[in-house]
Amino acid sequence: MDAPLADSRRRFLAACAAAGLSGTLLPGVLWAQIAAQGTAQVDAAMIRAAAQLAGLSFGDDEIEALLAPVNRSLAQMRRIRAAKIPNDVAPPFYFSPLTPGMAVDRRALAPRFSAPGRVERPADLETLAYWPLLRLAALLRSRQVTSLELTQMYLARLRRHNERLNCVVTMLDELALAQARQADAEIATGRDRGPLHGVPWGCKDIIAVRGIRTTWGSGAYKDQVFDYDASVVEILREAGAVLLAKLSTGELAGGDQWWGGQTRNPWKLDEGASGSSAGPGAATAAGCVPFAIGTETSGSILSPSARCGVTGLRPTFGRVSRYGVMALSWTQDRLGPMCRSAEDCAVVLHAIAVQDGRDLSVGDIPFNWDAGSDWRELKVGYLPQAFADADRDADWKRNEQATLAQLRAMGVKLVPLRLPDFDTETLQLSVEAAVFFDELLRSGRYRQMTSTARAERFRASRLIPAVDYLQSQRLRAMMMRELAAATAGVDVYLAPSTLGAPRPSGSAAAAPPSASQRHSQMANLACYPGLALPNGWAASGAPTSVLFMAPPYAEARLLALAKAYQDATGFHLRQPPAFAVA
137 contacts 344 by C-beta, under 8 angstroms? no
Where does 316-424 have alpha helices with state H? 342-352, 384-387, 394-409
DSSP per position, 412-436: --EEE-------TTGGG---HHHHH
Q: Assess whether 300 carries a catalytic annotation.
A: yes
404 contacts 410 by C-beta, under 8 angstroms? no
Contacts for 304 with CB less than 8 Å, ≥ 6 apart: 256, 273, 274, 275, 276, 277, 278, 280, 281, 282, 294, 310, 312, 338
Query: Which value, in Å, is the radius of gyration of the alpha carbons in the chain?
Result: 25
- DSSP summary character for residue 10: H
Q: Tell me whether strands 200-204 and 242-247 are parallel, antiparallel or unpaired.
A: parallel
Q: CA-CA distance, 67 to 117, in Å (whole number)?
A: 75
Q: CA-CA distance, 243 to 250, in Å (whole number)?
A: 20
Q: CA-CA distance, 497 to 269, in Å (whole number)?
A: 21
Q: Which amino acid is at 231?
A: S
Instruction: Tell the burial category of 58 from Cβ atoms under 10 Å away from its Cβ (0-12, 13-18, 19+).
Output: middle
Q: CA-CA distance, 39 to 487, in Å (whole number)?
A: 54
Q: Which amino acid is at 92?
A: P
- Name the active-site residue from 8, 204, 321, 514: 204
Q: Which amino acid is at 309?
A: G
- Name the active-site residue from 8, 218, 248, 276: 276
- For the chain, give the longest Cα–Cα distance: 87
Q: Assess whether 276 carries a catalytic annotation.
A: yes
- Name the active-site residue from 8, 147, 231, 300: 300
Long-range contacts of 83-92 (CB under 8 A, 24+ apart): 87/326, 87/327, 87/436, 88/228, 88/323, 88/324, 88/358, 90/327, 90/330, 90/359, 90/360, 90/361, 91/330, 91/435
Residue 174: name the closest of 151, 192, 206, 205 by CA: 151
Q: CA-CA distance, 224 to 222, in Å (whole number)?
A: 6
Assign residue 203 a region (left: φ > 0; alpha: ψ between -120 and 50; beta: otherwise): beta
Q: What is the 3-state secondary structure (H, E, C) of 287-301?
A: CCCCCEEEEECCCCC
Residue 167: name the closest of 289, 275, 280, 255 by CA: 280
Q: Which amino acids are annotated catalytic? A: 204, 276, 300
